[in-house]
Amino acid sequence: SPNANSSPDTHSSHAALSSSTAMPVEARHLVKRFGDLEVLRDVSLQVGEGSVTSIIGASGSGKSTLLRCLNLLERPVQGELTIADETIRFDRNRQGDIVGLDRRQLQRLRARVSMVFQQFNLWPHLTVLGNITEAPMRVQKLSRKRAIQRADHYLERVGMADKRDSYPAFLSGGQQQRVAIARALAMEPRVLLFDEPTSALDPERVSEVLSVIRSLADEGRTMVMVTHEMAFAQEVSDQVVFLDRGVVGMAGTPQDIFEGSHNERCRRFVSPAA
Ligand code: ADP
Ligand code: MG
């Protein structure tokens, strides 16, 4: 394997990747610290094929960090993560180094889990088309022609085909976010992650983005979404996870969470007035 060439023998007894569950994403006992601050404390999560999971919770509870761990933008210090049948074990003694996982494998795993950010994060110096074709060409080695075909397909999907040659600065927030969704889709990932995708938008632009996300849910895409849009979470989710100070305070169906949760802090979070 390519990994055998790039990793010293000392790592060979710590096989980082192995075949495991059929879940697109499964986190087991994840722990993440920033210095002394333990942001995730033993978080486990299962995301079924074709399901929508919403992560809710107070600001600072660790929602973004959890999402970033699922995409390997952050490296947990303990626990296990399964992404599309490959399992990675995190070892606190090897912090910052995912044992046996080289750059190419990391890129491959990340490509299976595409993220949409609150602030869109489009490259300002690239056109809409350039933003969408960049990663498929660089990471997945698609030809320019194939990458453009794909980009046009997903731009059509999010209703942005007519803006393919525009630069991000000339688009509204809602339009930029729809382009960011097309960019994530163009990697043809197993799982889409959304981190508060509508929080940076003007109120009148929220619904155009939610309706794209709703249509992706309807076509059976596997998605994990951090959101403050409670009505939307209730409507589209199969599973809702209430993250509370770095632990899963409560997880269940929207009904479990929104209609009289047994968890006192969850109940207060979803209906502060009650
Ligand atoms: P949420 O998305 O639920 O608001 P975050 O995951 O962004 O929460 O943050 C959880 C905690 O981790 C916060 O206290 C935050 O300040 C801290 N944190 C997040 N990222 C970093 C970082 N890169 N370095 C240090 N602390 C961080
Ligand atoms: Mg956040």
> Strand, helix or coil at 134?
helix
Q: How would you classify the pairing of strands 247-252 and 78-83? A: unpaired
- Of 202, 184, 201, nearest to 193 by C-alpha is 184
Give, as one character, the DSSP assignment of residue 170. Answer: G
Could you give the CA distance from residue 220 to residue 222 in angstroms, rounded to a whole number? 6
Cβ distance 270 to 261 under 8 Å? yes
Segments of the chain scoring below 70 in pLDDT: 1-22, 92-101, 274
Q: Give yes or no for residue 39 CB within 6 A of ligand 1.
A: yes
Token pair recorded at residue 265: 């802090």
What is the rounded CA–CA span in Å between residue 85 and residue 92? Answer: 23
Nearest partner of 238 among 51, 24, 23, 25, judged by Cα: 51
Question: Is the beta carbon of 65 within 6 A of some atom in ligand 1?
Answer: yes
SS3 content of the chain, % helix, strand, coil (to 5): 40, 25, 40
Cβ(174) – ligand 1 distance below 6 Å: no
Whole-number pLDDT of residue 255: 94
CA 25 to centroid of chain Cα atoms: 10
Residue nearest to atom 20 of ligand 1 (CA): 65
Residue list, CB under 5 A from ion ligand 2: 63-64
pLDDT given for residue 74 in this prediction: 92
Q: Whose CA is nearest to atom 11 of ligand 1?
A: 60
Residue type, 272: P
How many whole angstroms from 251 Cα to the centroid of ligand 2? 18
The finding on whether 62 has its CB within 6 A of some atom of ligand 1 is yes
* Ligand nearest the Cα atom of residue 63: 1
Minimum CA distance residue for ligand 1 atom 5: 62
Q: Which of 33, 34, 73 maximizes ligand 1 atoms within 8 Å of its Cβ, making it the mutation to test the pocket?
A: 34
Instruction: Locate 32 and state its tokens.
Output: 């993440």
Task: Give yes or no for residue 199 CB within 6 A of ligand 1.
Answer: no
* Shortest-distance atom of ligand 1 to CA 35: 25
Token pair, residue 267, equals 């109940």
- Determine whether the shortest distance from the Cβ of 61 to ligand 1 is under 6 A: yes
Pocket lining: 59 vs ligand 1, CB cutoff 6 Å: yes
Q: Is the CB of 34 under 6 A from ligand 1?
A: yes
Q: What is the pLDDT of residue 97?
A: 55
Beta carbon of 64 within 6 Å of any ligand 1 atom? yes
Task: Give, using CA atoms, the residue closest to atom 19 of ligand 1.
Answer: 65
CA of 247 to the centre of ligand 1 (A): 14
Q: What is the model's pLDDT at position 272?
A: 78
The predicted model scores a pTM of: 0.89
Which residues, including other chains, have CB under 8 Å from residue 43's CB and lie 6 or more apart? Answer: 27, 29, 30, 31, 62, 66, 79, 243, 246, 247, 248
